[in-house]
Every structure is written in C-alpha cells, then in structure tokens.
Amino acid sequence: MNETSSTDRRTFLRQTSTVAATAALASSLPFPHVASAANLKSDKLKLGLIGSGARGSGAAQQALNADSNSELWAMGDVFADKLDLSAKSLTTQFKDKPDRVNVADDRKFTGLDAYQKVIASGVDVVLLAAPGGFRPPHLRAAVDAGKHIFCEKPMGIDPTGVRSVRESVAIARRKGLAIRQGFAMRYDPAYREAMKRIHDGQIGEVVAIYSTRMSNRLSRFSGERKPGQTDLEWQLRNWHLFLWLSGDWIMEVSVHSVDKILWAMKDVPPVKCHASGARWQQTTGNVWDQFDVTYHWENGVTAVLKTRYMDKCHNEHKDIFVGTKGRCEFDNYKAQITGEKPWRYSGPKLAMHQVEHDELFAELRAGKIPNDGDAMAQSTLAGIMGRMSAYTGKEVTWEAALNSKLDTMPKNLAWDMKLDVPPPSEPGKTPLV
C-alpha cells in the first residue's frame, strides 16, 4: 500500500477484503525461517523478547507456556536494569526447566538499537512489547527479517504509524509470516461466545454500543525526574505520561474497549467520531486522564466510549451492546444476553493472555499462518481518531484519520538529545492535522 495514497472508506474496505483473500494464498506458503510445516513438528522455536517490562515479561512467560518445545533465546530493552529484572524473574519462573530460558549474556541487548539485535540473533518468533510509539518500526524490522510476530497493543499511536503497520501487515502476508495481535479480550472465552451470538443475530441488529473503562489513576510511573537523567531517559522511564510513547491513556489502556466496539461491528470502521476530554489530575507529561468518544457508522449505529483514570471517582469496566431483540453485556469478564433469547456464559474461565499464545503456537505447529493485522490496525486507528477529536474539539472522519500527516515520533533519537515536552492539547486551539 502507498502511504501517501488518498484512500476513502469504501476503498479501504475493498482493500481489506483483497488482503483477506490474499491471506488464504499466503497460508500455503513455506515458512521463511522455520522452513516448513514438517520441520515445525520437531524444531525448537527460538523466541526473542523486545521490551522487557511487565507486559513483555508476561508475554514471554505465556509464549513459553504455550509451546513446550520453545526457548527464550534473546532479550532486548533500552535499559539494562529493566532487562536484568525481567531475565531474573523469567529464570525463576522456569527454574525447574532451566533450558527454557536460554538467554546468554551476549544475547541480552540494551540501548535504542536493541530491537535490531534481537531480530538478528537467530530467533524464529519475536514478541513486540516496547511502548506503542515504537511498534511500527519494530514491526517493520521483524517483517523485513522474516520473523513470526506477537504484536502487543497498541499497534501505533498516530496515523503515520498506522499506515506503516498496514504496509507491514501486507508484506507479512506476501512473505507468509504470522502476526498475532495483543487485543487479548478477543481470546476471553466468555467474550468470544457472546460475540459469536451477537454476530449470529441473537440480539437482533445492533443499534447502539456503550463501553466504559474507568479506574483510579494508573500510577506505575511516578514521573519523577532523577538527577542526571537526560530528556530521553526521563521520558522513556516514565513512558505512560508522554504522548509520543504511549499515545495517551485512550491508546495505552482504553484501546481494548475500542477494539471490542469494532469487534461487535464485525471490524467495519466508523464513518466519523466526535469527542471531548480533559486533563484533571495528571501533572507530568502531556497526556490527559479522561475521554468521551462517540463513534458513528454508516448504517446508523452509534457507540459511546467513556474512559477515565482518576482517583476518588466512580470506577466501571463494562460493555453494553443494544440490539433490536435484546442486549448483551460484558462486565468484569462475564457475559450475558437479555431479551427474546436470554443467555449467560457458564463455560470455562481461561486466561485470555495465555489463550492468545496457545492458539498462535498451535497454529504455527499445524503449518498455519494467522495474521490479525487488519483488525489490529483498524482498532488502533479508531482509538487514534477518538483522541484526535478530543484533543482538537473537531469532528474527525475515518478518511481524515487514515490520511492524516500527524507524526509524533521524534526523529534521530539519541540519549543526549534535547527533547522538549509539548504542552497538553487544548480543544479549540490545537489544530487538526
């Protein structure tokens, strides 16, 4: 796909259909590094972790649990202390199986180019779990190198990054490479069964969606700037708080709710959205702590997303899908339908983060090549367009978001660079790019 092409919504949907058809052909192609489905039945898969924070460490553990004939072969992070902590934790978790975490010191890579060294270390599958701002270049490097990929959310934090991701997804299909998305809620058994019933018409035609993600302030990072830290180190160590790294809370956390909305709509993107939000309790960086986004579809469906991360406020995490014959509600990983055909999920409770890896490796071992790229890119862009609307106070169409030149990634990153923090956006003043 051409990054500069003017792609309207219908063209986008036609392209998505074409790419989906191409996937069927790609699934019959040989594996670029692990060679063939026959070899996959016996070969030990070497895993490379890029981004060794909490989510990355969890992804590595789940990938190892998913396939007993795999080993963690290489790790990369910008910070040595973060990498060492993760390596120690994973080694402890697999202390009874010491061969599973086989990361020699010369395969522990640190610095801004650590991702490139992990990819070049001889791994078969890479786990991309660095901050979302880095996802597009990391994904492209992994695809160019012919690696199978687990891609944590978000898959980018601005339209320029999403266009790069879409191109990488298309290249991966042509090469026969797997991409498993990190929108883990699509792997929760209760949500899966409920969504299947929604798509099968059990609540009739969907007419409206209400989704919330509200909790106390997320205080994983204090924002404190320690003596001697450069601009870049300070921001990287507190990456949740800076737009260019996290994409704001709507992308770092609430994008899961955006993904559920698009999932219910069978991954058809909205026509437009309008949004509001504010920065109330946040004091460091340039992210907000509250968003309200209303999405509109061509068929008249409206979806409202309410997301907030503030102390001493009402907390809620649910999704309500209203249909012409009933409604379905997701609440704290429970699912039920009321109306003409009532139903409540009563099946097994499985860890969704584990399921996504279990299925990825099972498919790889069976010689299949899953590629979740289209859906992951669309949900990511839908989250971005909501933030763009809130930041500017403007209505934003899908076409405008898809073709926006907004690019938040600083160029030529270096440890000693001057990296000023832009002020928080102001609706009515911040321009729509």
Report whether 292 contacts 275 (CB < 8 A): yes
Query: Same domain, yes or no, for 266 and 367?
Result: no
How many domains are there within the chain?
2
Is 431 a domain residue? no
CATH of the domain at 203: 3.30.360.10
Over residues 130-152, the pLDDT tens digits come to 999 999 999 999 999 999 999 99
Q: What pLDDT shows up at residue 258?
A: 98
Structural domain for 236, as ranges: 188-347+380-403
Query: Same domain, yes or no, for 166 and 65?
Result: yes
Helix count (H) and strand count (E) of the chain? 15, 15
pLDDT-derived band at 220 (thresholds 50, 70, 90) equals confident
CB neighbours of residue 408 within 10 Å: 18
pLDDT-derived band at 218 (thresholds 50, 70, 90) equals confident
395-421 mean pLDDT: 97
Is 409 a domain residue? no
pLDDT-derived band at 42 (thresholds 50, 70, 90) equals low
Report whether 259 contacts 299 (CB < 8 A): no
7-11, 107-111, 209-213: which has the minimum mean pLDDT? 7-11
156-166 mean pLDDT: 98
Over residues 263-294, the pLDDT tens digits come to 999 999 999 999 999 999 999 999 999 999 99
226-239 mean pLDDT: 97
The Cα 154–Cα 315 span in angstroms is 23
pLDDT-derived band at 212 (thresholds 50, 70, 90) equals very high
Give, to the nearest 10 degrees, the angle between helix 373-392 and helix 9-26: 150
Is 253 a domain residue? yes
Query: Same domain, yes or no, for 227 and 167?
Result: no
pLDDT-derived band at 40 (thresholds 50, 70, 90) equals low
For the beta sheet containing 396-397, the strands, ordered from the edge strand earlier in sequence to the opposite edge, are 343-344, 334-339, 326-331, 316-323, 206-215, 302-309, 290-296, 272-278, 396-397
CATH of the domain at 360: 3.40.50.720
Asked whether the bond before 370 is cis by omega within 30 degrees of 0, the reply is no
